[in-house]
Amino acid sequence: MAAIGVHFGYTCACVAIFKIVGIAAKQGQVRNAANTVVKVKQVLGRSFSDPETQSHSARTKCRVSLDEKPYYEITAGEQTQLIAPEDVAKLIFYKMKETAQSALGADVRDAVITVPFEFAQAQKQALRDAAEAAGFHVLRLIHEPAAALLSYNIGQESSSGKSHVLVYKLGGTSLSVTVLQVSGGMYRVLSTHTDHSIGGESFTQALAQHLASEFKRTFKHDVSSNARAMLKLMNGADMAKHSLSSLGSANCFVDSLHDGIDFDCNVSRARFELLCSALFNRSISPIRALVEQSGLSPSSINTVVLCGGSARIPRLQQMIREMFPDVDLLTSAPPDEVIAVGAALQAGLLVGREGLGPEDESVTVDVSPADILVKEVDESGAELFTVLLPSGTPLPARRHHVLSGPGHSSSLCLEIYQRFVSEHPEKLSKVKMAHTASDFTLMFIRSLTQTQLWFKLRLSALTALFQTVFNGNYSQDSG
């Protein structure tokens, strides 16, 4: 039975057999922008009121309607349909499955799916549900940095020794940098940084603006406010950008850009690097701070792994090499396929296939992408947040926490929160008791003096074990 790895990206998706989808839809956006759904991964598993959803709604060409969760409003002829992000993801996964089966000549069901490190549980579940709805049997969800390391067999060839690896991923619409410690074949995330304000499209936009300026200089027409013309220039700039990763210059030709005028322009790699110099600096600026945040220095990093299609850009690779002059910069595998390959290796191990990966079975340790906190109230009534599990904690994990209160208390309501870097705590859930109301309020006949809590965080859920002390006696419940 064949098993594959799927990297579900923000702009493109990739299976480990190196087939990519998304280009046709991107080019078709010129003809049908209003009905082209882009960057669906950003809203997958999010509520309509989520700031990320609101930002996506403001940028996308499709309107998002409120119906407890976001929906795309798609017009087909005279009819308007509401399409959920999960349905769009399902179509992409179905295309991935179809592509893999065409290449392998056999049915494919088993798959390992990669997820960004910062994905919350609801987003992971939405991605899993979409994959299963498309006909996949999801063997496991693994984090993208771990998949990148697996693709290069990092930490699998030796069961001893310790090293530090930096995974640099510059995708279409996001930048992600992660520092991991590899020890005995185990991966531990020390620190991570994600920025959705910069990605490969930022470089494409800079080049498209330059092409618009060249068109204005040559033909005296300003197309910068013409959405259709700019989409054409974006497609042309994107192809030119890809060519400049391997060539010294690239030709950009756009048929009938404006008023029937064909536009032809040659761009050199030096010009492209000059136009995007500020973007290059922004792209590497988080690296040094992240390494220091991990308690390391650049000389402590043993290996740098490049991921994402935009990591192909020669100038970017040169700047990273200058930052880590004595470090192995792994670029032998195509950066936009690295994560999918790692997922495929993991899938091969999980289904017991030989020859897809190292002979010794590897173990990937998932960690908490966010701080897990419990909300308490002090004597003055002020809210206090206590960190139970800091981000980067290997999972599954178990923590012990004691809540104390006055002897006359007869109930307890507990709220669990998650907090990503530089964000306010976001309610994860109220801990629920089995066979009780959803609000989860523990009612006790006798006075409550102290409650000890053991928290267990797994990949799928957060559970709690309560040991409630009543004047020397105790009872145990779980939720």
In this predicted model, what pLDDT tens digit does every residue of 236-256 receive, in sequence order? 999 999 999 999 999 999 999
Task: Name which residue leads in pLDDT, 384 or 272.
Answer: 272
What is d(CA 251, CA 267) in angstroms, rounded to the nearest whole number?
Answer: 6
Domains of the chain are 1-152+333-366 (3.30.420.40), 200-277 (3.90.640.10), 371-478 (2.60.34)
Is residue 410 pLDDT above 60, yes or no?
Answer: no
Q: What is the pLDDT of residue 133?
A: 95
Is residue 397 pLDDT above 90, yes or no?
Answer: no
Q: What is the pLDDT of residue 213?
A: 96
Band of residue 400 on the pLDDT scale cut at 50, 70, 90 = low
Task: Name which residue leads in pLDDT, 102 or 7.
Answer: 102
pLDDT tens-digit readout, 436-462: 333 333 333 333 344 455 555 544 444
DSSP 3-state assignment of 420? coil
Is the N-terminal amide bond of 70 cis, ω within 30° of 0? Answer: no
Place of tokens 């795309």: 72
Band of residue 403 on the pLDDT scale cut at 50, 70, 90 = low
Q: What is the pLDDT of residue 420?
A: 66
Task: Name which residue leads in pLDDT, 33 or 269.
Answer: 269
Instruction: Strands of 319-441 (E only): list them.
Output: 328-330, 371-377, 383-389, 397-412, 415-419, 426-430
Band of residue 408 on the pLDDT scale cut at 50, 70, 90 = low
Task: Name which residue leads in pLDDT, 380 or 431.
Answer: 380
Q: What is the pLDDT of residue 312?
A: 94
What's the chain's average pLDDT?
78
Burial (CB count <10 Å: 0-12, 13-18, 19+), residue 299: exposed
> Helices (H), strands (E): how many in the chain?
11, 23
Band of residue 135 on the pLDDT scale cut at 50, 70, 90 = very high
Is residue 197 pLDDT above 80, yes or no?
Answer: yes
Band of residue 365 on the pLDDT scale cut at 50, 70, 90 = low
Q: What is the pLDDT of residue 265?
A: 95
Q: At what angle do helices 314-323 and 277-293 cross, to 10 degrees?
A: 30
**How do 426-430 and 415-419 pair as beta strands?**
antiparallel
Reduced DSSP (H G I as helix, E B as strand, rest coil) percent helix, strand, coil of the chain, to 5: 30, 35, 35
What is d(CA 293, CA 58) in angstroms, rounded to the nearest whole number?
Answer: 33
Candidates 151, 149, 115; CA nearest to 130 is 115
Candidates 393, 168, 424; CA nearest to 290 is 168
Q: What is the pLDDT of residue 451?
A: 46
Band of residue 383 on the pLDDT scale cut at 50, 70, 90 = confident
What percentage of the chain has pLDDT greater than the value 90? Answer: 40
pLDDT tens-digit readout, 56-108: 777 665 566 666 788 888 877 778 888 888 998 999 999 889 988 988 888 98
Candidates 15, 11, 14; CA nearest to 25 is 11
Band of residue 46 on the pLDDT scale cut at 50, 70, 90 = confident
Alpha-carbon distances, residue 476 vs 408, 413, 440, 446, 456 (angstroms): 20, 16, 15, 15, 15
What is d(CA 308, CA 337) in angstroms, rounded to the nearest whole number?
Answer: 8
Q: What is the pLDDT of residue 329?
A: 92
Is residue 271 pLDDT above 90, yes or no?
Answer: yes
Task: Name which residue leads in pLDDT, 253 or 361.
Answer: 253
Is residue 350 pLDDT above 80, yes or no?
Answer: yes
What is d(CA 416, CA 231) in angstroms, rounded to the nearest whole number?
Answer: 44
Is residue 32 pLDDT above 60, yes or no?
Answer: yes
**Cβ atoms of 300 and 324 closer than 8 Å:** no
Q: Average pLDDT of 9-13?
A: 64
Q: What is the pLDDT of residue 17?
A: 42
pLDDT tens-digit readout, 276-286: 999 999 999 99
Band of residue 14 on the pLDDT scale cut at 50, 70, 90 = low
129-138, 142-151, 365-374 — which is least confidently predicted? 365-374
Band of residue 15 on the pLDDT scale cut at 50, 70, 90 = low
Which contacts qualify for 323-331: CB closer than 8 Å, 24 or more apart? 323/284, 323/287, 323/288, 323/298, 324/166, 324/298, 326/299, 327/298, 327/301, 327/302, 327/303, 328/302, 328/303, 328/304, 329/304, 330/152, 330/303, 330/304, 330/305, 330/306, 331/306
Is residue 222 pLDDT above 60, yes or no?
Answer: yes
CA 384 to chain centre: 30
Band of residue 345 on the pLDDT scale cut at 50, 70, 90 = confident
| Residues 6+ away with beta carbon under 8 Å from 319 | 280, 284
25-39, 366-380, 382-396 — which is least confidently predicted? 25-39
